[in-house]
Amino acid sequence: MTSNTLLEVRNLKKSFSSNFFLKKYNILKSIDINAGKGEIYGFLGPNGAGKTTTIKCILGLIFPDSGTIMIQNKPSHSPEIRQKLGFLPENPHFYDYLSARELLFFSAKLFSIPPRKASEVIYNLISMVGLKGKEDVKLKNFSRGMVQRIGIAQALINDPDLVILDEPFSGLDPIGRKELRNVIIELKKKGKTVFVSSHILQDMELMADKVGIIFNGEIIKEGKLSELVSRSVQYYEVIFSNIDENRIKANNFSFECREKKYIIRCSDIDEMNRIIEFVILNKGKITSVIPVKMTLEDIFLKEVK
Protein backbone atom coordinates (compact mmCIF):
# COMPACT_ATOMS: atom_id res chain seq x y z
CA MET A 1 0.00 0.00 0.00
CA THR A 2 1.42 3.39 -1.04
CA SER A 3 1.37 6.44 1.23
CA ASN A 4 -1.53 7.95 -0.75
CA THR A 5 -3.67 4.79 -0.64
CA LEU A 6 -6.62 4.77 1.74
CA LEU A 7 -8.48 1.61 0.67
CA GLU A 8 -6.70 -1.44 -0.71
CA VAL A 9 -8.49 -4.68 -1.58
CA ARG A 10 -6.45 -7.64 -2.77
CA ASN A 11 -7.59 -10.97 -4.27
CA LEU A 12 -11.03 -10.75 -2.64
CA LYS A 13 -13.18 -13.83 -3.19
CA LYS A 14 -16.68 -14.67 -2.00
CA SER A 15 -19.08 -17.50 -2.78
CA PHE A 16 -22.53 -18.50 -1.61
CA SER A 17 -24.11 -21.93 -1.39
CA SER A 18 -27.65 -22.96 -2.20
CA ASN A 19 -29.73 -26.11 -2.64
CA PHE A 20 -28.70 -27.41 0.79
CA PHE A 21 -25.04 -26.56 0.09
CA LEU A 22 -24.94 -28.80 -2.98
CA LYS A 23 -24.13 -25.97 -5.34
CA LYS A 24 -21.71 -23.08 -4.84
CA TYR A 25 -21.93 -19.75 -6.67
CA ASN A 26 -18.72 -17.72 -7.00
CA ILE A 27 -19.93 -14.13 -6.66
CA LEU A 28 -16.51 -12.46 -6.30
CA LYS A 29 -13.73 -14.25 -8.17
CA SER A 30 -10.74 -11.99 -7.62
CA ILE A 31 -11.25 -8.35 -6.70
CA ASP A 32 -8.39 -5.83 -6.54
CA ILE A 33 -9.18 -2.19 -5.64
CA ASN A 34 -6.92 0.74 -4.85
CA ALA A 35 -8.59 4.02 -3.80
CA GLY A 36 -6.48 7.02 -2.82
CA LYS A 37 -6.93 9.64 -0.12
CA GLY A 38 -9.22 12.52 -1.05
CA GLU A 39 -10.37 10.69 -4.17
CA ILE A 40 -13.78 9.92 -5.67
CA TYR A 41 -13.62 6.28 -6.73
CA GLY A 42 -16.33 5.14 -9.12
CA PHE A 43 -17.12 1.44 -8.69
CA LEU A 44 -18.95 0.59 -11.90
CA GLY A 45 -20.77 -2.47 -13.13
CA PRO A 46 -24.12 -3.81 -14.30
CA ASN A 47 -26.69 -5.11 -11.85
CA GLY A 48 -25.57 -8.43 -10.39
CA ALA A 49 -21.88 -7.87 -11.12
CA GLY A 50 -20.89 -8.04 -7.43
CA LYS A 51 -20.75 -4.37 -6.41
CA THR A 52 -22.90 -4.63 -3.27
CA THR A 53 -21.25 -7.90 -2.20
CA THR A 54 -17.84 -6.20 -2.42
CA ILE A 55 -19.09 -3.29 -0.33
CA LYS A 56 -20.52 -5.62 2.31
CA CYS A 57 -17.13 -7.33 2.57
CA ILE A 58 -15.36 -3.97 2.97
CA LEU A 59 -17.79 -2.96 5.71
CA GLY A 60 -17.53 -6.31 7.48
CA LEU A 61 -21.24 -7.08 7.05
CA ILE A 62 -20.25 -10.39 5.46
CA PHE A 63 -16.95 -12.24 5.54
CA PRO A 64 -14.98 -13.05 2.37
CA ASP A 65 -13.70 -16.54 1.61
CA SER A 66 -10.21 -15.16 1.07
CA GLY A 67 -8.31 -11.95 0.33
CA THR A 68 -7.31 -8.87 2.30
CA ILE A 69 -9.04 -5.54 2.89
CA MET A 70 -6.87 -2.76 4.30
CA ILE A 71 -8.00 0.76 5.21
CA GLN A 72 -5.31 3.23 6.22
CA ASN A 73 -2.82 0.35 6.43
CA LYS A 74 -4.99 -1.51 8.96
CA PRO A 75 -7.40 -4.44 8.61
CA SER A 76 -10.89 -3.18 7.80
CA HIS A 77 -12.46 -5.21 10.62
CA SER A 78 -10.51 -3.43 13.39
CA PRO A 79 -12.70 -1.31 15.75
CA GLU A 80 -10.50 1.73 15.16
CA ILE A 81 -11.14 1.60 11.42
CA ARG A 82 -14.89 0.97 11.83
CA GLN A 83 -15.10 4.32 13.65
CA LYS A 84 -13.79 6.05 10.53
CA LEU A 85 -16.29 4.63 8.03
CA GLY A 86 -19.49 6.19 6.72
CA PHE A 87 -22.06 4.20 4.72
CA LEU A 88 -25.23 4.85 2.74
CA PRO A 89 -26.93 1.65 1.47
CA GLU A 90 -28.70 1.43 -1.88
CA ASN A 91 -32.21 1.63 -0.42
CA PRO A 92 -31.94 3.34 2.98
CA HIS A 93 -34.83 2.86 5.39
CA PHE A 94 -35.07 5.18 8.36
CA TYR A 95 -37.66 5.56 11.11
CA ASP A 96 -40.49 7.48 9.44
CA TYR A 97 -41.68 9.12 12.65
CA LEU A 98 -38.28 10.75 13.29
CA SER A 99 -37.39 14.18 11.96
CA ALA A 100 -34.12 14.78 10.13
CA ARG A 101 -32.62 16.35 13.25
CA GLU A 102 -33.77 13.47 15.47
CA LEU A 103 -32.29 10.89 13.09
CA LEU A 104 -28.92 12.61 13.19
CA PHE A 105 -28.98 12.90 17.00
CA PHE A 106 -29.78 9.18 17.15
CA SER A 107 -26.82 8.46 14.82
CA ALA A 108 -24.56 10.69 16.92
CA LYS A 109 -25.42 8.69 20.06
CA LEU A 110 -24.29 5.50 18.32
CA PHE A 111 -20.82 7.06 18.08
CA SER A 112 -20.95 8.47 21.64
CA ILE A 113 -20.70 12.04 20.38
CA PRO A 114 -21.47 14.50 23.24
CA PRO A 115 -24.80 16.38 22.78
CA ARG A 116 -23.21 19.84 22.51
CA LYS A 117 -20.77 18.73 19.85
CA ALA A 118 -23.51 16.75 18.10
CA SER A 119 -25.66 19.89 17.80
CA GLU A 120 -22.86 21.74 16.04
CA VAL A 121 -22.05 18.83 13.74
CA ILE A 122 -25.73 18.31 12.85
CA TYR A 123 -26.21 22.00 12.04
CA ASN A 124 -23.25 21.91 9.65
CA LEU A 125 -24.33 18.66 8.01
CA ILE A 126 -27.91 19.84 7.48
CA SER A 127 -26.56 22.92 5.72
CA MET A 128 -24.06 20.92 3.68
CA VAL A 129 -26.62 18.51 2.21
CA GLY A 130 -29.08 21.31 1.45
CA LEU A 131 -31.79 20.52 4.02
CA LYS A 132 -31.67 23.73 6.00
CA GLY A 133 -35.22 24.59 7.06
CA LYS A 134 -36.26 20.93 6.75
CA GLU A 135 -34.52 19.64 9.88
CA ASP A 136 -37.79 19.24 11.85
CA VAL A 137 -39.81 17.67 9.02
CA LYS A 138 -40.71 14.01 9.58
CA LEU A 139 -38.85 11.61 7.30
CA LYS A 140 -42.12 10.12 6.07
CA ASN A 141 -42.72 13.43 4.28
CA PHE A 142 -39.32 13.43 2.56
CA SER A 143 -38.91 12.88 -1.19
CA ARG A 144 -36.49 10.23 -2.46
CA GLY A 145 -33.84 12.87 -3.07
CA MET A 146 -34.24 14.31 0.43
CA VAL A 147 -33.93 10.82 1.93
CA GLN A 148 -30.66 10.36 0.02
CA ARG A 149 -29.39 13.66 1.38
CA ILE A 150 -30.21 12.91 4.99
CA GLY A 151 -28.71 9.46 4.40
CA ILE A 152 -25.42 11.07 3.41
CA ALA A 153 -25.62 13.33 6.47
CA GLN A 154 -25.99 10.33 8.80
CA ALA A 155 -23.07 8.65 7.01
CA LEU A 156 -20.94 11.71 7.85
CA ILE A 157 -21.99 12.15 11.48
CA ASN A 158 -18.76 10.56 12.75
CA ASP A 159 -16.52 12.61 10.39
CA PRO A 160 -15.33 9.47 8.53
CA ASP A 161 -12.23 9.28 6.35
CA LEU A 162 -13.91 6.82 3.96
CA VAL A 163 -17.52 7.32 2.79
CA ILE A 164 -19.13 4.41 0.92
CA LEU A 165 -22.25 5.10 -1.15
CA ASP A 166 -24.06 2.18 -2.76
CA GLU A 167 -26.08 3.24 -5.84
CA PRO A 168 -26.84 6.72 -4.44
CA PHE A 169 -28.28 7.99 -7.75
CA SER A 170 -30.84 5.21 -8.15
CA GLY A 171 -34.36 6.58 -8.48
CA LEU A 172 -33.33 10.26 -8.56
CA ASP A 173 -34.45 12.72 -11.21
CA PRO A 174 -31.82 14.79 -13.14
CA ILE A 175 -32.03 17.69 -10.66
CA GLY A 176 -31.64 15.36 -7.68
CA ARG A 177 -28.66 13.64 -9.32
CA LYS A 178 -26.92 16.96 -9.98
CA GLU A 179 -27.47 18.12 -6.40
CA LEU A 180 -26.14 14.83 -5.05
CA ARG A 181 -23.07 15.07 -7.29
CA ASN A 182 -22.39 18.49 -5.83
CA VAL A 183 -22.56 17.07 -2.30
CA ILE A 184 -20.11 14.27 -3.21
CA ILE A 185 -17.69 16.73 -4.82
CA GLU A 186 -17.91 18.86 -1.66
CA LEU A 187 -16.89 15.81 0.39
CA LYS A 188 -13.83 15.40 -1.79
CA LYS A 189 -12.92 19.05 -1.19
CA LYS A 190 -13.02 18.32 2.53
CA GLY A 191 -10.44 15.57 2.04
CA LYS A 192 -12.78 12.58 2.23
CA THR A 193 -12.34 9.48 0.13
CA VAL A 194 -15.70 8.71 -1.47
CA PHE A 195 -16.29 5.20 -2.81
CA VAL A 196 -19.36 5.34 -5.07
CA SER A 197 -20.97 2.23 -6.50
CA SER A 198 -23.17 2.93 -9.50
CA HIS A 199 -24.34 1.74 -12.89
CA ILE A 200 -25.23 5.30 -14.00
CA LEU A 201 -22.09 6.08 -15.97
CA GLN A 202 -22.89 9.68 -16.90
CA ASP A 203 -22.75 10.74 -13.24
CA MET A 204 -19.46 8.96 -12.69
CA GLU A 205 -17.87 10.62 -15.70
CA LEU A 206 -18.76 14.05 -14.30
CA MET A 207 -17.11 13.57 -10.90
CA ALA A 208 -14.95 10.43 -10.51
CA ASP A 209 -11.17 10.66 -10.24
CA LYS A 210 -10.64 6.94 -10.62
CA VAL A 211 -12.86 4.09 -11.76
CA GLY A 212 -12.93 0.34 -11.37
CA ILE A 213 -15.17 -1.71 -13.66
CA ILE A 214 -16.49 -4.96 -12.22
CA PHE A 215 -18.12 -7.60 -14.42
CA ASN A 216 -19.10 -11.12 -13.49
CA GLY A 217 -17.26 -10.91 -10.15
CA GLU A 218 -13.96 -9.61 -11.55
CA ILE A 219 -12.31 -6.22 -11.97
CA ILE A 220 -11.78 -5.95 -15.72
CA LYS A 221 -10.49 -2.36 -15.78
CA GLU A 222 -9.16 0.12 -13.22
CA GLY A 223 -7.43 3.44 -13.60
CA LYS A 224 -7.56 7.23 -13.47
CA LEU A 225 -10.59 8.38 -15.43
CA SER A 226 -8.63 11.13 -17.18
CA GLU A 227 -6.05 8.61 -18.40
CA LEU A 228 -8.62 6.06 -19.56
CA VAL A 229 -10.51 8.67 -21.56
CA SER A 230 -7.42 10.43 -22.98
CA ARG A 231 -6.02 7.12 -24.27
CA SER A 232 -9.33 6.14 -25.85
CA VAL A 233 -9.51 8.18 -29.08
CA GLN A 234 -12.13 6.79 -31.46
CA TYR A 235 -11.21 8.92 -34.47
CA TYR A 236 -10.01 12.37 -35.55
CA GLU A 237 -12.09 15.03 -37.27
CA VAL A 238 -10.42 17.39 -39.72
CA ILE A 239 -12.64 20.39 -40.53
CA PHE A 240 -11.65 22.67 -43.41
CA SER A 241 -12.97 24.97 -46.16
CA ASN A 242 -11.99 26.88 -49.33
CA ILE A 243 -11.40 23.76 -51.49
CA ASP A 244 -13.45 22.75 -54.50
CA GLU A 245 -15.67 19.79 -53.66
CA ASN A 246 -14.80 17.98 -56.88
CA ARG A 247 -11.13 18.02 -55.91
CA ILE A 248 -12.00 16.32 -52.59
CA LYS A 249 -14.04 13.67 -54.41
CA ALA A 250 -11.21 13.09 -56.86
CA ASN A 251 -9.01 12.00 -53.94
CA ASN A 252 -11.66 9.48 -52.79
CA PHE A 253 -12.12 11.13 -49.41
CA SER A 254 -15.34 10.34 -47.57
CA PHE A 255 -16.64 13.62 -46.17
CA GLU A 256 -19.58 15.58 -44.87
CA CYS A 257 -20.47 19.14 -45.79
CA ARG A 258 -21.90 21.33 -43.06
CA GLU A 259 -22.32 25.13 -43.22
CA LYS A 260 -19.87 25.40 -46.15
CA LYS A 261 -17.25 23.43 -44.25
CA TYR A 262 -16.01 19.91 -44.97
CA ILE A 263 -15.57 17.30 -42.28
CA ILE A 264 -13.42 14.20 -42.77
CA ARG A 265 -13.13 11.54 -40.07
CA CYS A 266 -9.77 9.80 -39.82
CA SER A 267 -9.22 6.46 -38.12
CA ASP A 268 -5.57 7.15 -37.20
CA ILE A 269 -2.89 9.85 -37.06
CA ASP A 270 -1.28 8.85 -40.38
CA GLU A 271 -4.54 9.33 -42.24
CA MET A 272 -5.12 12.62 -40.40
CA ASN A 273 -1.68 13.91 -41.49
CA ARG A 274 -2.38 12.89 -45.11
CA ILE A 275 -5.60 14.92 -45.14
CA ILE A 276 -3.95 17.96 -43.53
CA GLU A 277 -1.23 17.81 -46.17
CA PHE A 278 -3.91 17.64 -48.89
CA VAL A 279 -5.68 20.73 -47.50
CA ILE A 280 -2.42 22.72 -47.29
CA LEU A 281 -1.32 21.77 -50.82
CA ASN A 282 -4.69 22.87 -52.18
CA LYS A 283 -4.55 26.17 -50.29
CA GLY A 284 -7.53 25.28 -48.13
CA LYS A 285 -8.24 26.65 -44.68
CA ILE A 286 -8.16 24.25 -41.72
CA THR A 287 -10.74 25.23 -39.13
CA SER A 288 -9.97 22.57 -36.53
CA VAL A 289 -8.53 19.11 -35.89
CA ILE A 290 -10.45 17.33 -33.14
CA PRO A 291 -9.63 14.00 -31.48
CA VAL A 292 -13.01 12.45 -30.65
CA LYS A 293 -12.54 10.48 -27.44
CA MET A 294 -14.57 7.62 -26.07
CA THR A 295 -16.93 8.40 -23.23
CA LEU A 296 -16.89 6.38 -20.02
CA GLU A 297 -19.96 4.58 -21.34
CA ASP A 298 -18.09 3.66 -24.54
CA ILE A 299 -15.15 2.33 -22.50
CA PHE A 300 -17.49 0.41 -20.18
CA LEU A 301 -19.41 -1.25 -23.01
CA LYS A 302 -16.18 -2.10 -24.84
CA GLU A 303 -14.71 -3.79 -21.75
CA VAL A 304 -17.90 -5.66 -20.87
CA LYS A 305 -18.47 -6.90 -24.41
Asked if pLDDT for residue 294 goes beyond 80, the answer is no
Asked if pLDDT for residue 19 goes beyond 80, the answer is no
CA dist., res. 165 & res. 88, Å (int):
5
Domain boundaries, the chain: 5-229, 234-294
- Tens-digit pLDDT profile for residues 175-231: 888 888 888 998 999 899 999 998 878 888 889 999 999 988 999 888 888 777 766
Q: Report helix, strand or coil for 283.
A: coil
* pLDDT of the residue at 31: 93
Task: Look up the CATH architecture of domain 5-229.
Answer: 3-Layer(aba) Sandwich (3.40)
Asked if pLDDT for residue 164 goes beyond 80, the answer is yes
Cβ neighbors of 177 (< 8 A, separation 6 or more) are: 169, 200, 203
The order of strands in the sheet holding 23-36 is 74-75, 66-71, 5-18, 23-36, 218-224, 210-215, 40-44, 193-198, 162-166, 85-88
Q: Report helix, strand or coil for 153.
A: helix
Buried/exposed 208-245: b ≥16 CB within 10 Å, e otherwise: bbbbbbbbebbbebbeebeebbeeeeeebebbbeebee
Asked if pLDDT for residue 1 goes beyond 60, the answer is no
Report domain 234-294's class: alpha beta
- Asked if residues 211 and 23 have their Cβ atoms less than 8 Å apart, the reply is no
pTM of the model: 0.79
* pLDDT of the residue at 8: 94
* pLDDT of the residue at 140: 92
- Asked if residues 22 and 88 have their Cβ atoms less than 8 Å apart, the reply is no
Q: Report helix, strand or coil for 22.
A: coil
CA dist., res. 210 & res. 196, Å (int):
10
Kindly state the average pLDDT of the residues 289-305.
76
Cα 61 to chain centroid distance, Å, stands at 22
Instruction: Name the average pLDDT for the chain.
Output: 88
Kindly state the average pLDDT of the residues 243-264.
88
Asked if pLDDT for residue 245 goes beyond 80, the answer is yes
Residues 14, 29, 184, 162: what is their CA dihedral angle, to the nearest 10 degrees?
A: 50
Residue 91 CB neighbour total at 10 angstroms: 11
Element (H, E) at 264: strand 261-266
- Tens-digit pLDDT profile for residues 22-81: 778 888 998 999 999 999 999 998 888 899 999 999 999 999 999 999 999 999 888 888
Asked if pLDDT for residue 21 goes beyond 70, the answer is no
Q: Report helix, strand or coil for 47.
A: coil
Query: Long-range contacts made by residues 242-247, C-beta under 8 angstroms, separation at least 24?
Result: 242/283, 242/284, 242/285, 243/279, 243/282, 243/283, 243/284, 247/282
- Tens-digit pLDDT profile for residues 90-130: 888 888 899 999 999 999 999 999 999 999 999 999 998 88
